[in-house]
Structure 1
Amino acid sequence: MHVLSLPTWFIHILTLFEWLLAIFFINQISKQSNKKALKWLAMAMLPNLASAMAAITWHIYDNPSSLYGLVYIQALLTFIGNICLALAAWNLVKTEKQLI
């Protein structure tokens, strides 16, 4: 396998920071608006963040076959994270409809 190009690294690292900022801001909005559904949304984003960290860790070490388990961990975290995000979004819609 080949080392990632500089633009690809740039995208990977910025995506991590973007995800962290999104979690932080959603959590802050949750505190200010006192909406627990938003806090659940921020928490539901964490498995996908961990998934991205697993992928980047594997790339940092130049994708060795000895760390191939990280690929499976990353896939599992993505699967779990997507389910968590779907449930959190559903919960957010449900709570917002109750306010109307």
Structure 2
Amino acid sequence: MAPLPPLRLVAAAPPSPPPPRRPPPPSAARLASGVAFGAAAAAAVAAAASPPALAALAEPANALSLPTWAVHVSSVVEWVTAMALVWDYGERTGLKGWKGLSWGMVPLLGGAMCACTWHFFYNSESLEVLVALQGALTVIGNITMCIAAYRIFKATQQSSKKLQW
């Protein structure tokens, strides 16, 4: 068994004299001082970590932030939910045009998936084709939804003519 390498001491400070006794601060000040202490401790740990370890955890400058990812993912979930609700409405009412609208929404979902995939790989230049594919799917999706909406309009007009005496 190989001997362990010696431990390195990163920083050492001489002990300081105890601070004078003061009355405890109010709760908000106590919380703020705890947050400041936690931030200082985290900074000290980060400073003590070796540079290669930090470089492995760093993301590129064009990485999406967590809130931006939340918007992207929730938009896709919202779109899939809307597609399911439109399909369900078409089944419950028996109007096939609404199911057609749900099918017309599929290309736009594909475009959203292209965008999320491209961002997942940090907008890699080797995946630039996804940007063009997203644009094409958006155009196709807008056309298919327009056709589906027109078909719903026509079906509604025909059914209202049948109801008139």
- With normalisation by structure 1, the TM-score equals 0.97
Residue 89 of structure 1 aligns with an amino acid whose one-letter code is A
Once residues 155 and 69 of structure 2 are traced to their aligned partners in structure 1, the CA distance between those partners, rounded to angstroms, is 39
User: Which structure would you say has the larger RCO, counting Cα contacts within 8 Å and 6 or more residues apart?
Assistant: 1
* Unaligned 5+ runs, structure 2: 1-60, 161-165
| Equivalent residue runs for 1:6-17 within 5 Å | 6-17=66-77
How many pairs are equivalent?
100
| Structure 2 match to 1:44 | 104
1:25 maps to 2:100: no
- With normalisation by structure 2, the TM-score equals 0.59
1:58 maps to 2:135: no
Residue 83 of structure 2 aligns with an amino acid whose one-letter code is I
* Unaligned 5+ runs, structure 1: none
1:55, CA displacement in angstroms? Answer: 0.5
| Equivalent residue runs for 1:64-83 within 5 Å | 64-83=124-143
Q: Which ranges of 4 or more aligned residues in structure 1 deviate by more than 3 Å?
A: none
Once residues 120 and 126 of structure 2 are traced to their aligned partners in structure 1, the CA distance between those partners, rounded to angstroms, is 13
Once residues 95 and 45 of structure 1 are traced to their aligned partners in structure 2, the CA distance between those partners, rounded to angstroms, is 19
1:6, CA displacement in angstroms? Answer: 1.5
Residue 98 of structure 2 aligns with an amino acid whose one-letter code is L
Once residues 49 and 6 of structure 1 are traced to their aligned partners in structure 2, the CA distance between those partners, rounded to angstroms, is 21
Deviations 1:72-94 (A, max 9, x none): 00000001000001111111111
1:96 maps to 2:156: yes
Higher helix share: 1
1:15, CA displacement in angstroms? Answer: 0.5
**Paired residue secondary structure (2:64):** coil
Once residues 62 and 74 of structure 1 are traced to their aligned partners in structure 2, the CA distance between those partners, rounded to angstroms, is 16
**Paired residue secondary structure (1:62):** coil
What's the C-alpha RMSD, in Å, of the aligned pairs? Answer: 0.9
Structure with higher Rg: it is 2
Percent same amino acid at aligned positions? 38
